[in-house]
Amino acid sequence: MKIAIAGTGYVGLVTGVCLAEQGHSVTCVDIDENKVALMKAGISPIYEPGLEELMAHNMDRLNFTTQFKDAYKDADIIFIGVGTPEKKDGSANLSYVYGVAEQIARSIEKDCVIVVKSTVPIGTNEKIEDLIKSNLANNVNVYVASNPEFLSQGTAVSDTLHASRIVIGVEDEIASEVLKEVYKNFNAPMVVTTRKSAEMIKYASNDFLALKISFINEIANLCEIIGANIEDVANGMGYDSRIGNKFLNAGIGYGGSCFPKDTKALHWLANFLDHELKTVRAAIDVNENQKLKLFKKSRKYFNSLKGLNVAVLGLTFKPGTDDLRDAPTLVNIPIMIDDGANVKAWDPVGIDNFKKLYPQGINYCYSIEETLKDADICFIFTEWDEVKNFDLKNYSKLMKNPIVLDGRNCYDLRSVKNVKIIYDSIGRETINSLEMSLLL
C-alpha cells in the first residue's frame, strides 16, 4: 500500500521504517529540512538501536520529504505520528495533531484512511474527523481510525515488528479492513474496537505500568527502613502470574516521553470531567519524590556538596536511548550545581543533548574512569551496560572518597561486599566497608 507518515519522531519514523520492512511504500513527512536531509542520507535523527540498519535495508521503499502536499495527495493511508507534548496544566498539547489534520484535509485528492498513531486524549479522533471533513479541498471520502503505539525507547524497532498486540479503533468497516491489510504480515494479536476504547487502551496501559513502577518504589523505600531486600521482594511477587515480573525494578522513578506525559494527561482529563483518578495522582506524586531519592541520600555522607567533586554516571532516563525527557538528572544536576558541587558527567549517547540544555557548569567526560577520577561521591542515574559491567574495584582506586549512590541497583550486593566502598542503593542494605558514617 502507499502510505504517508506525518512526523519523524520515535513514533512516526519507527512506524514508517517498520511498515516499509513489511513491503509497503512509505513517505515520511517532516517540517525540518535538516532532519529530512539526514534521513535521505540514511542517518536516523534519533538514537534507536537497529533503526538505521533497517532504514538502509528499505531505502528503495522509503522516501523522506518536507513537501506534505505531494506525500498526502494520493496516499492510500496516512498515519499521524506527531508529538502531543505536555502543557503546563498537565493536559496534552494537540496543536501539532490538529495542524497536520488541516494539512491532510487540504491535500488529499482521493479517498483515504487517516490513522492517528499519536497518543491523544479520549475523543480526539472524533474531533480530528470533524476537522478534516470541514476543511476538505476535494470531494473525497475520509475514514479516521485510532491505532495507538506501544513501543519503548531503546527497543522500539522490536516492539513494532514483534508487537504484543495491534489495537485498531474504528467506526466503520472500510477503515477496519484497510488497517487489517496494513498489518496482515505482523504476527501479533489484533484488537478491533471503537476509537474511544482504543484511545483509552493506550492511556490505561501506560498509566498502569507507571502505577506499577511507583508502587514498587514505595515498597523499596519501606524496605530500606525495615531492613528487607526489594529485589527478593520483587522476585517473590513476580512469580505470581497475576502480577508478573515486569516493571518491578526499584529505582529513582520513570521518565521518558510517555509515562510522565500520559499519567498527567489522563489525570487532567478525568479532573476536567469531574472524576478523580486517585491512584494515578498518587503515582505522579510518588515519581516526582523518587527522583530526588539519591540527592537526599547524599546528605547522610555530606552536609553539603559545596566544593566537592561529584561524578554522575548516566544522563538519559533509561539505557538504549539519547532521550532526556523527564530524566532524573534534569532535576538533580541543577540542584547539585546550586549546592556548589563540581559536577563531572558521563553518558555513552546522551552528552550532546544534555549540552544543549547545560552548555556550561558541567565537566562532560567520555569515559567512566575520567568521570570518577578524584570524585568525592558518585551518583548512578542510568543503568547502562558500561556501568553494570564496570569493575567495582575501580571505584575505590579512582575516587577520593568511594561513596557510590546507585539509583538503578546495578550491582549485586555480594560483589560489593568484596571491595572497599560505601554503596547505597534503592530498597537494599547499605554496604559500608569503609566504616564511615559521615563526611563533613
Residues 43 and 98 in one domain: yes
> CB–CB of 105/135 below 8 Å?
yes
Q: What is the pLDDT of residue 440?
A: 45
Residue with cell 582506586: 397
Strand partners, 143: 113
> CB–CB of 215/291 below 8 Å?
no
Residues 255 and 372 in one domain: no
Residues 14 and 128 in one domain: yes
* Predicted confidence pLDDT, tens digits, the chain (440 residues): 999 999 999 999 999 999 999 999 999 999 999 999 999 999 999 999 999 999 999 999 999 999 999 999 999 999 999 999 999 999 999 999 999 999 999 999 999 999 999 999 999 999 999 999 999 999 999 999 999 999 998 999 999 999 999 999 999 999 999 999 999 999 999 999 999 999 999 999 999 999 999 999 999 999 999 999 999 999 999 999 999 999 999 999 999 989 999 999 999 999 999 999 999 999 999 999 999 999 999 999 999 999 999 999 999 999 999 999 999 999 999 999 999 999 999 999 999 999 999 999 999 999 999 999 999 999 999 999 999 999 999 999 999 999 999 999 999 999 999 999 999 999 999 999 986 544 44
Would you tell me how many other CB atoms lie within 10 Å of the CB of residue 348?
Answer: 20
> CB–CB of 360/292 below 8 Å?
no
Its domain, for residue 331, covers 293-432
Q: Per the domain annotation, does 439 fall within a domain?
A: no
> CB–CB of 65/32 below 8 Å?
no
Q: What is the pLDDT of residue 437?
A: 47
End-of-domain residue from the set 236, 271, 290 = 290
CATH no. for residue 252? 1.10.1040.10
Residue with cell 567526560: 365
Residues 224 and 349 in one domain: no
Q: Is the pTM of this model over 0.85?
A: yes
Domains in the chain: how many in total?
A: 3
DSSP string, 119-156: ---TTHHHHHHHHHHHT-SSS--EEEEE------TTSH
Q: Per the domain annotation, does 437 fall within a domain?
A: no
Distances (CA, A) of 149 to 142, 286, 435: 22, 26, 50
Residues 150 and 162 in one domain: yes
Residue with cell 490538529: 98
Q: How far is CA 245 from the centre of its chain?
A: 20
Would you tell me how many other CB atoms lie within 10 Å of the CB of residue 171?
Answer: 17
Q: Per the domain annotation, does 438 fall within a domain?
A: no
Active site residues: 258
Q: What is the pLDDT of residue 434?
A: 84
Residues 64 and 83 in one domain: yes
